[in-house]
Amino acid sequence: MNSAGSGVRTSGGRVDGRNEGPLERADRNMVELLQELRVAQTGVQILFAFLLTLSFTERFGSIDAVQRWTYVVTLLCSVLTAGLLVAPAAVHRVTFGRGLKAETVQLGHRLFSLGLGSLVLTLTGAVLLVLDVAIGRPFAITAAAVVCAVLVALWFVLPLPMVRRDGVGPAGGAADGAADGAADGGGTRTDEQGTPSAARSTS
């Protein structure tokens, strides 16, 4: 059992400075996930509105077939991105009060990651379309490829060394919290409404 001032040791041997149980950790992870989703959703909504208005401009009727298909694919990617980024909140609402907060966080993490990947495609397509119309196709393709590479590097490649050193699962410690609960003898779980429920064994 950890003392009040010793914090919680994660699977990577790191002390995170928090003396919290698995339920408190899952609650904190869910709040952090929803805050991150709000940041991403704002940008996606603006981009989606911009793409919708393009089809009503006078110049849209003069674009060629490649530009038209680029627009269609980019618009569909933006819809998919919006759906993936809203999905964690919808999952949380459906599972509310069922004692599934840790599982909800893990699923939300996966959906958010897929949403970021879809957002990379959306931003790349938007850059390709706008620059193709404004400047020319060779420059547009080059610029879109650079934008795609930079976004992938910043959002996915850059954090990898930290993830490998830490060794904590995608729920940000939820799995460690389950292990702590098992070490303490199982105990009971309470859902978001405060109702105790039997602790489930983890694989």
**So what's the pLDDT on residue 29?**
82
**Rounded Cα distance, 158 and 149, in Å:** 12
Determine, yes or no, domain membership for 10: no
Determine, yes or no, domain membership for 164: no
Q: Is-contact 191 197, C-beta < 8 A?
A: yes
- Residues spanned by the domain of 83: 22-158
**So what's the pLDDT on residue 128?**
96
Determine, yes or no, domain membership for 11: no
Q: What is the mean pLDDT of the chain?
A: 78
- What is the pTM (predicted TM-score) of this model? 0.70
Higher confidence at residue 120 or residue 35?
120
Q: Is-contact 82 111, C-beta < 8 A?
A: no
Distance between start and end Cα atoms, the chain: 22
Determine, yes or no, domain membership for 197: no
Determine, yes or no, domain membership for 107: yes
**So what's the pLDDT on residue 167?**
61
**Rounded Cα distance, 132 and 134, in Å:** 6
Determine, yes or no, domain membership for 94: yes
Q: Which of 3-7, 22-26, 47-51 reaches the highest mean pLDDT? A: 47-51
Give the pLDDT mean for 150-157: 94
Determine, yes or no, domain membership for 187: no
Total structural domains in the chain? 1
Instruction: List strand residue ranges (DSSP E) for the chain, in order.
Output: 188-190, 196-198
Determine, yes or no, domain membership for 114: yes
